[in-house]
Amino acid sequence: MTPASLKAWRERLYGSGYGTRSVETACEALGLSRRAYDSYEAGEHRIPRYIELACRHLEWCGLCNSLNSPGVAIKKGLLDRLDQPSKKDY
């Protein structure tokens, strides 16, 4: 993922305008600090693969459109549960 594609993703899902709520909402949905997100979008650091996959997932499943605050599900442990085996796996 390139910085330009990260910015395009944010604008598609959360609206355009840097410095507005769209950036804060994207940070919350991805579980990133504002500083980390800014460094990725500015191209100061390489965007990790897991951030790219999280962006694709949020866009694909429509999580950002179905919740008032996209970070709610993530904060409640949605991604943590994905790493743990289900009871069916035992």
For the chain, domains (ranges, CATH) are 3-84 (1.10.260)
pTM of the model: 0.63
Residues 74/29, Cβ–Cβ less than 8 Å: yes
pLDDT tens for 2-16 read: 999 999 988 888 777
User: Alpha carbon 64 to chain centroid distance?
Assistant: 9
pLDDT tens for 68-79 read: 454 444 444 445
Go through 23-41 and write b for each residue having 16 or more CB atoms within 10 A of its CB, e for each that does not.
bebbbbbbebeeebbebbb
